[in-house]
Chain A
Amino acid sequence: MSGFLSGAWAVARKDLLLETRSRERFVSMATFAMLVAVVFSFSLDPSVRARSIAGAMLWVTILFAGTLGLGRSFALERDSEALTGILVSPIPRGALFLGKFLANLAVVLAVEAVIFPVYGLFFGLNYGAGALGLLLVVLLGTIGFMALGTLFSAMAAHTRMGDSLLPVLLLPLLIPVVIFAASATQRLLIGRPLGEVQGSLRMLLAFDLVFLFVCTASFGAVVEE
């Protein structure tokens, strides 16, 4: 078990090291997310109160920016044939998946740390009272998103269509996460107590466990060569 975790950690560390050196994905995702906010503010009718649809706007932004970053998740390995190198190393396939997942999770959480203040600023959202709840919703929602996202980005990277295939496969499968994450976010934003979204948090946790298990178990079939 410790070999499994240390393998996963090695893969995650490698990816995060590459990311902190280049900041490629983080910069493009964060900039894109801010641009989505700008597009929202120009495309919404001025009479619409942003606070009443902020949950939806935030999760649309997270999904779009996250999918954009996921597209690059396996690009480096594919382009330089480095995946073969990782596959011949004594790291179990499940650990490889977990490492990739953790790295993607860290990058997207970092982007979300930009998205939330920017949306707060642009649309006058007040996170104050619900901050703890929002943190949990975002964390749990992003874990589920990244579990499925990492699996499908590995597949999409090995197709002719590449990154353009990813959202087509990913979005319909992500609907359960979207439903519970967006509704919980919306409720917390309009000042409902944490107790009211407890059910949603529990559902998101259950989705995360199911997705992580299924994706870790089936990842071996995706990368075997």
Chain B
Amino acid sequence: MDAQMDTGSLAGTRRWSVILGLLATVSLVAGLWMIFFYAPTESEMGVVQRIFYVHLPSALVAYLAFGIVALCSLGYLWLRDERLDAIAVCAAELGVIFTTAVLTTGPLWGRIAWGAWWVWDARLSFTLLLWFIYVGYFILRGATENPERGKRFAAVLGIVGAVDIPLIHMSVQWFRSQHPKPVVLKPEGPSLAPEMVQTLLVNMLAFMLLFFCLLLARYVVERLSRRIDATRLLRAA
């Protein structure tokens, strides 16, 4: 790889990451203010419903991350471009982190709303399985000694996982469902108060910005650490 050309593109990526970071900070602060002071308290569930403004955006970002993993995995097996693999790793990492956020905020809410930390509802089970698949992704990478092989294996898992995920979704849906039904995206329009929808949208935007900021920052780190590894190998040889 052309090391000189690499440096230029990474500096640009880093700049974008900082810009997105600033935007994310502003929107996250605004989002938090809206969660606590702007959105009205839900009449049935009470104040605990406010966790929903963190829960749903985290879930959407996590799904987006796993979508990126699948596309980059496919692209890597096709083009064998180092950069696609780097993006896939970074996206998978963020996906696991945001899934963990979903799996933490969910039970906190469920304890009050359902009276149980955990129920084997369709969406909960689905998210938990997603988490397991992508934790496996990192165990697989870590356990493969040959790095080139590790990338290939991870890409295959990324693709098989992406094909399997809709099937898992369908099966657990069939198995059982007691998760609150969608309240925002449904044909007859949102049934939430307009202030709630606005709070949700601002937080979704904030989480998206945060996600892309972290993705780019993590990507720069990943590329740099690979460059260091390559230099070390060259020295040792």
User: Is B213 part of the contact surface with A, judged by Cβ < 8 Å?
Assistant: no
B160: min CB distance to chain A, Å: 6
Partner of B160, one of A148, A158, A159: A148
**Known interface pairs A151-B160, A210-B163; A175-B172 also in contact (CB < 8 Å):** yes
User: Is B57 part of the contact surface with A, judged by Cβ < 8 Å?
Assistant: no
| Nearest A-chain residue to B125, judged by Cβ | A175
- Taking a contact as CB atoms under 8 Å apart, the answer to whether A158 and B144 are in contact is yes
B residues near A48, Cβ cutoff 8 Å: none
- Docked CA distance A159–B152 (Å): 12
- Taking a contact as CB atoms under 8 Å apart, the answer to whether A175 and B171 are in contact is yes
- Docked CA distance A184–B201 (Å): 42
User: Is B60 part of the contact surface with A, judged by Cβ < 8 Å?
Assistant: no
B residues near A215, Cβ cutoff 8 Å: 160
| Nearest A-chain residue to B155, judged by Cβ | A221
Which B residues, 139 to 181, have Cβ-Cβ distances below 8 Å to chain A? 139-140, 143-146, 149, 152-153, 155-157, 159-161, 163-164, 167-168, 170-172, 174-175
A172: min CB distance to chain B, Å: 4
Interface stretch, picked from A15-23, A30-38, A161-169, is A161-169
Partner of B143, one of A160, A171, A211: A160
Interface stretch, picked from B88-96, B109-117, B129-137, B227-235, is B129-137
**Known interface pairs A175-B129, A221-B152; A159-B140 also in contact (CB < 8 Å):** yes
- Taking a contact as CB atoms under 8 Å apart, the answer to whether A214 and B129 are in contact is no
**Known interface pairs A151-B160, A221-B152; A176-B168 also in contact (CB < 8 Å):** yes
- Docked CA distance A212–B157 (Å): 15
- Taking a contact as CB atoms under 8 Å apart, the answer to whether B171 and A155 are in contact is no
Residues of A within 8 A of B (CB): 148, 151, 155, 158-161, 165, 168-169, 171-173, 175-176, 179-180, 183, 203, 207, 210-211, 214-215, 218, 221-222, 224
A–B Cβ pairs within 8 angstroms, 14 of them? A151-B156, A155-B156, A158-B144, A159-B143, A159-B144, A159-B153, A160-B145, A161-B143, A172-B168, A173-B160, A175-B171, A176-B167, A215-B160, A218-B160
Residues of B within 8 A of A (CB): 77, 129, 132-133, 136, 139-140, 143-146, 149, 152-153, 155-157, 159-161, 163-164, 167-168, 170-172, 174-175
